[in-house]
Amino acid sequence: MEIKNKKGAVGLVIFFSVLIIALIIGFIAAISISVIDIASDEITPIMEGIGVLDGTSTNMSEYAEYSVGTLDDIVQQLPWVIALGYIMMLIFTLVFIFVVGYNPHPAFIAFYIVLMILLIFACVLISNIYQDIYTGTDELATRLQDQTILSYMILYSPFITAMIALIGGILMFARQSSSEGMGGFSV
């Protein structure tokens, strides 16, 4: 009697979960970094303009320039770091398929297509929410418009994640099975 692998569709669910979590993290990170950037731009000039304390020779402006000014420089560079992290998360989803070596049964192709359609709907929803904020005229919208790479990745996330899911599906379902000499499940 031959023992069969009974993993089911867990790998498919994990793959799509990682994709949607990456999108949500990118969305939250873009908004959070914009809010932190606005706060940093408001606080930095105030802290650097304090001057010398009464009765002492301590120049608080100089100390604030070293601490808050340096922190402001870091905050100004965070959008690039977040964008790079977001791109790496999307690349990780394809690497995930190679590392895990998941090879689902061809019967799960319909389930995969349903998950792919749900992923595209979720990406369209998040992309539309982001676009509503992005196209505004307030301070948050201008900060999001300054984050060119991350904004592009989130605004075009339905296409980008659909391509990643399509490539991932091809890699999963067309992979050669380790127990058999032919592709997939000898199909």
Name the residue with higher pLDDT: 43 or 133. 133
For residue 159, the model assigns a pLDDT of 95
Query: Is 162 within a domain?
Result: yes
Query: Is 184 within a domain?
Result: no
* Structural domain count of the chain: 1
For residue 29, the model assigns a pLDDT of 93
For residue 10, the model assigns a pLDDT of 78
Average pLDDT over residues 135-149: 92
Q: State pTM to two decimals.
A: 0.81
User: How far lies 135's CA from each of 25, 32, 36, 85, 95, in Å?
Assistant: 20, 17, 19, 24, 34
Q: Over the stretch 7-16, which tens digit does the pLDDT of each residue have?
A: 667 778 888 9
For the record, the structure tokens of 11 come out as 């790998």
Average pLDDT over residues 131-138: 93
For residue 98, the model assigns a pLDDT of 77
For residue 3, the model assigns a pLDDT of 58
Residue 183's Cβ-side half-sphere holds a number of Cα atoms within 13 Å equal to 8
For residue 160, what are the domain limits?
10-173
Query: Is 54 within a domain?
Result: yes
Name the residue with higher pLDDT: 87 or 56. 87
Q: Over the stretch 20-53, which tens digit does the pLDDT of each residue have?
A: 999 999 999 999 999 999 998 888 888 777 777 7
pLDDT band at residue 123 using 50, 70 and 90 as cut-offs: very high
Please say whether the dihedral angle defined by the alpha carbons of residues 28, 34, 40 and 42, taken in this order, is positive or negative.
Answer: negative
User: Distance between CA 162 and CA 119 in Å, rounded?
Assistant: 8
Percent of the chain topping pLDDT 70:
88
Average pLDDT over residues 128-152: 93
For residue 7, the model assigns a pLDDT of 60
Name the residue with higher pLDDT: 99 or 154. 154
For residue 70, the model assigns a pLDDT of 86
Query: Is 5 within a domain?
Result: no
Query: Is 79 within a domain?
Result: yes
Query: Is 133 within a domain?
Result: yes
Query: Is 148 within a domain?
Result: yes
Query: Is 186 within a domain?
Result: no
